[in-house]
Amino acid sequence: MKMKLLIACLISISLVSAQNKTETLPPASSWDVAPPSWYIGMADSSLQVIIHASGIGAYDLSISYPGVHVIAISQVENPNYLFVDLIIDDQAQPGNIPFVFTSGKKSFTYAYPLLERKKRTYAYGLDAGDMIYLLMPDRFSNGDTANDIMPGTQERTVNRKDPKGRHGGDIQGMINHLDYISKLGATAIWCTPLIENDQPKWSYHGYAATDHYKIDPRYGTNEQYALFVQEAHKRDLKVVVDIVHNHIGSGHWLFEDLPMQDWIHRLDSGFVRSNYRTSVKNDPYASEYDYRRMNEGWFDFHMPDLNQDNPYLSKYIIQNNIWWIETYEVDGFRLDTYPYSDLKFLQDWALAINRQYPGFGIFGEVWVNGVGVQGYFHGDNAIDDGYNSYLPGVTDFTLYDALTTGLNEQFGWYEGMRRLYHTLTQDYVYGDVMKNVVFLSNHDLSRFYSLVNTNTDKFKMAITFAMTTRGMIQWYYGDEIGMKNFVSPEDGKVREDFPGGWAGDSINKFERSNLTAEEKEIFDYVTGLANWRKNSDAIAHGKLMQFIPENGVYVYFRYTEKETVMVILNTNDKEYSLENERMAERLNGFTTATLVPGKSTVKLESLKVGAKQSAVYILK
């Protein structure tokens, strides 16, 4: 249930009795200490250490260590907690800070690790040139069967036939297939949370944390996670961590023994579920009832809603996130259920992260409908109401809605490809729209291939758009081989195991030779576009110019001084011939076009795209 200070590479503990050897505290191995260690030379020299142990609040605490200054020691309403505020000078030296606890004649010493910062060797951050491969560790690959069932955890079964249960995928399975992800054309990897989720059921998804500093033992260890990051970086893959600010699991030690009653939100007298209507956060006509129900209601009955107005809690979250960046050299954060958190906290959090790691890669899950609602949560937006989240990018659900709807309807004044056009005309709302994340599927949505009724041409058209429009792309595992299914009535159907990720699988689809002809067509198209994309100046840095879709055909350009790319999406049932005169402002000076993927070249005056086809060209 708890970390229990078992991160051996980081933590050294000593518990020493004074002359009167009457021990009343539990052994230090059962304490909860957060953060479990810290670093010298951080941009913010302050540190708040939470110490949780039975009766610890009754003890006096003294600290004497060169370069470390005690600002406050706070006893809160729960006597099992102490909050220790420190300032750490840059002149402090690495070592164990002695926390000396005394009560009468009894004395105990706890050694708190103060570490020297490592020199980072891999640049962090995300940009429009990135393709982020999203996977669910439990459903991707089982590389170590020894950790499938771990003693001491509440859910101790593995059943691959149970869509809600654990299937056994782990960190080693991810490491085993990093070459596959890299060769696909991805530049980053995001997996759903790996930290401990010691819940009695549904623990596989990772969104109900019970220890923020410990990798779930059924996925591996903290040391193994460090190896995963190192191996990813060797392959030029950035690592994105899935962060949950809004809630924790009901098995978390911070919920089972609350430091203070306002650590979590409480509506009425018991459990109240959120209304999930994030639009109330920027609704000028919202009722107080609806706002509170959204902001303070629980995401689910086993996910207590955190009260980030509590300054101790907000400090705990910020320090935890910084600790993961500093300790494991990760490159970006995806923020789960972003709008559910307190708006002021989200500002403070973003400023704190950016102060320590300027330009760190961050995007938030903003699952809303409408550019105005979505844009409200985007940092530096054009909405002048005095609020700035400082969030660099959002998951672009509004553009996703336009794509899924537009590909499945007849072309019209607003319908079809014009949905994409009209949605993009509203990009002025955002700050840096190139930091938005475009996607076709994720772990909460139906597989895109199923949404277009397994029509390969439509699927390839969607792939073309996602790979070439503004912003970065998030790719969901298995879409590259045309995995299918719908999220309703069972989300486990879109979280199925990757075929070949388990030793006993009848077929291994990590190997291209094992794919069907249909799967190879999709895989080759994705791989071709993705590997071209990661080296394209126009995609990473280019402007976007779009022409109003006509007769079911959408044409747009991505361009810099170095490169011009033309994209044609022809949803019509007849062949399309390029309109050179209409698009002269972007075509002048060019005579030929080279197809991507592939290298076939045609003259612009004779360029044609077949019915229901899409095409990407580099202009020469």
As annotated, the active-site residues are 336, 365
Helix (H) or strand (E) holding 113: strand 106-115
Among 326, 196, 309, 187, which residue's Cα sits nearest to residue 248?
A: 196
Other C-beta atoms closer than 10 Å to the C-beta of 384 total 6
Cα–chain center distance at 589: 42
CA 416 to chain CA mean position, Å: 30
11 three-class SS: coil
Q: Which of 410, 396, 377 minimizes the C-alpha distance to 440? A: 396
Reported as half-sphere exposure (CB side, CA atoms, 13 A), residue 152 has a value of: 10
What's the token pair of residue 459?
A: 């699927």
Cβ atoms of residues 162 and 508 within 8 Å: no
Contact 135, 189 (CB under 8 A): yes
Using the CB atoms, write b or e for 455-467: b if 16+ within 10 Å.
Answer: eebbbbbbbbbbb
State the Cα–Cα distance between residues 415 and 410, nearest whole angstrom. 7
**Could you give the CA distance from residue 528 to residue 200 in angstroms, rounded to a whole number?**
43
- Burial pattern 21-44, b for ≥16 Cβ within 10 A else e, equals eeeebeebeebbbbbbbbbbebee
What does R_g of the chain's alpha carbons equal in angstroms?
26
Look-up of token digits 């077929």: 507
Contact 468, 479 (CB under 8 A): no
Token pair for residue 535? 């080296």
Cα–Cα distance measured from residue 453 to residue 522, given in angstroms and rounded to the nearest whole number: 15
| Cα distance between residue 561 and residue 550, in whole Å | 28
User: Dihedral sign, CA of 121, 127, 128, 134?
Assistant: positive
